Amino acid sequence: MSSVERAKATQIENIQKRTGKSMEELTELIQSSGLTKHAEIRSMLMEKLGLGYGDATMLIQFALKKDVQIIVQEKGLTTDDVLNEIYSGPKAGLRPIHDKLMSAINQFGEFEIAPKKGYVSLRRKRQFAMLGPATNTRVELGINCKDIQADERLLEQPAGSMCNYKVRLTDPEQVDDTIVSWVRRAYEAAG
């Protein structure tokens, strides 16, 4: 079992302990809610069970077996296959931004790339960044790290968001040493 798989298993165990409910009960709660949209289910779990954003998301993925990474593995797709789909059509021109940032991040050391529906999550023991097109003209880089010295590019996100900060990128030239240093700091804190 990889360290990421162990971390997921531990998170699920902790959710069961905190809620006092088994996975069967938690799955039944989700399925009987009548909700179908991920965000609605997540909000319900956060409200009814007092779960945080990450725990609610993990529970949905586990209970409904909707983890895109599992689907990708079952279909035999590569990360490149997923990226080609994410950065297709009108978003194809954004791929150089992604590639330049990933080239810098790959220098940090080992981490996992977890493909999602419209972005990729970058993880060590926990997610340290997420990267994907937000619009046809902009890539968003989410950074999970506390107390980064902000500048006009680093947008602090509300409490409970998937990432503490967000950076909007419209050109590969915007990927500079400062942005890479923010991601490195998140990488080091995640691991």
d(CA 157, CA 91): 24
Asked if 144 contacts 182 with a C-beta cutoff of 8 angstroms, the reply is no
Whole-angstrom CA distances from 76 to 3, 62, 71, 118, 121 are 22, 20, 9, 18, 19
Name residue 103's amino acid.
S
pLDDT category, 168, cuts 50, 70, 90?
A: very high
Q: What is the pLDDT of residues 41-69, one digit of tens each?
A: 889 999 999 988 888 888 887 776 654 45
Asked if 91 contacts 167 with a C-beta cutoff of 8 angstroms, the reply is no
Burial class (CB in 10 A: 0-12, 13-18, 19+), 175: buried
d(CA 25, CA 30): 9
Helix intervals (H) in 50-176: 53-64, 68-75, 79-86, 95-105
pLDDT category, 71, cuts 50, 70, 90?
A: very low
Residues 6+ apart with CB under 8 A from 186: 128, 129, 143, 144, 145
Ranges of each domain in the chain: 3-65, 79-189
This prediction's pTM: 0.64
- What is the average pLDDT value for the chain, to the nearest integer? 84
The predicted pLDDT at position 5 comes to: 67
